[in-house]
A = this chain, B = another copy of it.
Amino acid sequence: MKTKSDSITLVDVARLAGVSLKTASRALNDSPELRPETGARVLKAMEQLGYQPNELARGLKAKRSAAIAMIVPNLADPFTAAAVQAVQDVARETGHAVILASSGGDAALEEAELQIMLRRQIDGVVLMAASSGKSNLKLLLARNVPIVVFDEPLRGEEVDTITVTNRKSARGATEHLLAHGYKRILAVGARPHLYTCSERVAGYRSAVKSAGAEPIELLVQHESDLTPELLSPFLSGPNRVEAIFTLNWVCTMRVLRALNAAKKKILTDFPLVSFDDFELAEMIPPGLTVVRQPAHELGHQAAKVLFERMSETKRQPARKIVLGTEFIVRGSCGCKPKAWE
């Protein structure tokens, strides 16, 4: 009586429905080779018993887990959060669970997480990589687990990849600042070993050099190194810059705080453009001009591609999808949009 609810198995269902185990199984997987009548009877028995299939058992036999892994560096980043949401939504449609882990941008941690995922027999991985190296994926690759890499591509790996036009977008943003007449533009980025960062830096450089100006870069190993003290030499004195271009959301946050701490005003003291949009960008006076990445779309595409890959019969070539960005002019670049006139 007490442990009954613990252990309603397909066998119980089959018994109640007066069919064999296999027939019950067929009903569970709504196999076509089953008389609708029989199926209905089994379904009723399931209902009656409150039967819940055991995914572990199904997966063990079928060598799939109906779960995908998603590994991201930082959930606090709204770009990441939006992408995670998108992946979850797609996963739900296909009845897959999402096992989420944060790497904190640490490649070793990421690898550890991936290994744990492997042991769980995950059916696929959406990875926002902590490094551009492929070494972390060896295990997965060897096991033929589909992977979609997203935001941060992998060097020389034949893996599905969803990215944005990092270089071009960064170049465009820089050109916009240059067009306003600013020559000494500081680019602030983190984790320069990442493709995203290096591409954005490259775009920035090419724009600056085309304009005959000198690149001024503050690139730190990790965003957390970005202290007000580090920034202050660029905010006053002989090395004062004329404008700032932050290369991702966390950098934007850090720079804004540093400016605040130094009692510097955006635009009047330092015109600024941010790579990455966020909820309140328009509320920071005079409104932050940003490069907006299609976060939700990126996540959606990543998941779509992953599920396609998971259900494909023979191996297709890797897909490389590159999405565009939106340049959203608010006030911080020097433009005067209506809202702030």
Q: Could you list 7 examples of A-B contacts with CB < 8 Å?
A: A57-B60, A67-B99, A75-B81, A75-B85, A97-B99, A97-B116, A284-B284
Describe A's contact surface by its main secondary structure. Answer: helix
B contact residues around A117 at 8 Å (CB): 97
Does A308 touch B at the CB level, under 8 Å?
no
In whole angstroms, what is the CA distance A67 to B59 when docked?
Answer: 15
A1 at the B interface (CB under 8 A): no
Question: Are B97 and A98 in touch, CB under 8 angstroms?
Answer: no
Give A75 to B98 CA distance when docked, in angstroms: 14
A84: contacting residue among B57, B59, B75, B282, CB under 8 A: B75
Q: How far is the CB of A254 from chain B (nearest CB, A)?
A: 10
Q: Tell me, yes or no, whether A33 is within 8 Å of chain B by CB.
A: no
A54 in complex: contacting residue of B52, B100, B121, CB < 8 Å: B121
Collect the chain B residues with CB atoms within 8 Å of residue A66's CB. Answer: 120
Instruction: Check: A132 CB closer than 8 A to any chain B CB.
Output: no
Residues of chain A touching chain B, judged by Cβ–Cβ distance below 8 Å, are: 5-6, 50, 52-57, 59-60, 65-67, 75-76, 78, 81-82, 84-85, 88, 92, 95, 97-102, 113, 115-121, 139, 142-144, 253, 256-257, 260, 279-280, 282-285, 339
Instruction: Considering the complex, give the chain B residue whose CB is closest to the CB of A59.
Output: B56
On whether the beta carbons of B88 and A120 are closer than 8 Å, the reply is no
Which residue on B lies nearest to A4, using beta carbons?
B142
A65 touches which one: B6, B56, B76, B100 (CB < 8 A)?
Answer: B56
Contact A85 B76 (CB under 8 A): yes
The count of identical subunits is 2
Please give me the residue from chain B that is nearest to A62 by CB atom: B56
Residues of B within 8 A of A115 (CB): 52
Task: Give every chain B residue within 8 A of A98 (Cβ-Cβ).
Answer: 99-101
Task: Please tell me if the beta carbons of B282 and A283 are within 8 angstroms of each other in the complex.
Answer: no
Q: Chain B's nearest CB lies how many Å from the CB of A314? A: 15
The distance in angstroms between the C-alpha atoms of A75 and B70, with both chains bound, is 14
* A60 in complex: contacting residue of B56, B113, B116, CB < 8 Å: B56
Distance, CA A57 to CA B284, complexed state (A): 53
| Candidates B6, B253, B282; contact of A279 at CB < 8 Å | B253
Contacting pair B81 A97 (CB below 8 A): no
By a CB distance below 8 angstroms, the chain B residues around A119 are 52-55
